[in-house]
Amino acid sequence: MSLLLALVVGLALLAAAVWLWDLVWMPFGIGLQPSANDSIAVLPGDDQPIHCYSLHPHPSQRGNRPQPGGLPTHLILLIPGNPGSPQFYKPFLDSLQSLLLQQSDHSRRYELCCIAHGGHSLWTHRIHRGARPIHPMTLEDQVQQKLEFVRHRIQGNPGMKIILIGHSIGAYFCLKVLGDLAARMERPDDIVERVIMLQPAVENIGQTPAGVRLRPILKRYGLAAKITGAVALLPAWIKERLVRSYLDQAHDPATALELQKAVLSLIDYKVALSCFKMGFHEVTEVHRFKGAKPLRRFEGKMLFMYAANDHWVPDEAVESLQNLFPKASHLIDPLFRHAFMMDPDGSARMAMAVARLIQGTIHN
């Protein structure tokens, strides 16, 4: 009994020491506080908080002419991959914002928004503390959350055009959003201006090389999350050093800092559980895509951009999507890999490619 008591006291002292060290280290380390562009919203009739990273790039001023105000004319909605934290996409969105500011005229008011997957954002768990716990969502729950978000935005601004961007499994959600709009609206193609799908993981994910390799881990998503939770108990400075050693050192300082924050925000039991469990649902539930017929009306506005040698989107998946949507645009770009935002200059280069697509759509 005395040995057990000593062990409990020792663990308590160790936990207190780690907590105190983090308090001392935090002012000098990487802060994980949300920025002014991060917001947490709860949709009507739903108690699950949604983390959004939003930018409002109004057209640049010319001389002393003021920038136009009012509601955005275009919503550029980015649906992320997995992990689905907007933190990973901030450099991409910031670069895209700058490009649109340089290129757009005064009649265009864009809002750029990246919506987190339910449970994938550290901020939603922190602000929800003390309220009803956030449970890991099923894939269908995640789909419904995106549908409700888009419906809510359209209802709040009926004249707004939508440009959807989906990365990896986010492209799967984009196709689900299109199907919902086609079923609910008389002329949804008047609202949807462009659908850009980057490295689209929308078919047979469990049969891809990456899906086969990760299935044993994702199958034990609870254990994987507990291991992540144990790592979360390490002092902040150790976690930061581990993350820095993992990331490519060729990033510019600002991008490197954002990616470090993004990875650090995943080192949390609840966040990891949501990410791993969603990954399990992806490899077990996302099979051959059904429902392409109602989406034919959008084909001329759809662009699929593939990475070369993508283990999540192999050649057979590319061929299948080309057959499903023959009138859509299909591009294989050897300059990008699946996780483009993790490459040096990957976010900036992808932003340039997407900006050209958006501007070409609007002005043609």
Q: Within a domain: residue 214?
A: no
The pLDDT of residue 351 is above 70: yes
Q: Tell me the average pLDDT across 329-337.
A: 90
Burial class (CB in 10 A: 0-12, 13-18, 19+), 32: middle
In this prediction, residue 229 has a pLDDT band, given cuts at 50, 70 and 90, of very high
Q: Within a domain: residue 199?
A: yes
Q: Within a domain: residue 21?
A: no
pLDDT at 46: 66
Q: Within a domain: residue 222?
A: no
Q: Tell me the average pLDDT across 137-141.
A: 90
In this prediction, residue 291 has a pLDDT band, given cuts at 50, 70 and 90, of confident
Q: Within a domain: residue 219?
A: no
Output the six-digit token pair for 241: 């050093």
CATH number for position 88: 3.40.50.1820
Kindly report the average pLDDT of the chain as a whole number.
83
Residue type, 351: A
Q: Tell me the average pLDDT across 23-42.
A: 60
Claim: this prediction has a pTM higher than 0.85? yes
- Are 303 and 278 spatial neighbours (Cβ–Cβ below 8 Å)? no
pLDDT tens profile 57-104: 554 433 333 344 578 888 999 999 999 999 999 999 999 998 988 866
Q: Tell me the average pLDDT across 158-168.
A: 94
User: How many structural domains does the chain have?
Assistant: 1
Q: Tell me the average pLDDT across 43-70.
A: 62
Q: Within a domain: residue 328?
A: yes
Q: Give the residue with greater pLDDT, 300 vs 364.
A: 300
Residue among 267, 264, 275 at smallest CA distance from 221: 275
The whole-angstrom separation of Cα 110 and Cα 75 is 6
Q: What domain range is 122 assigned to? A: 34-59+72-205+289-363
The pLDDT of residue 128 is above 70: no
Span of 40-49, 316-325, 352-361 with lowest mean pLDDT: 40-49
Q: Tell me the average pLDDT across 155-162.
A: 89
The pLDDT of residue 353 is above 80: yes
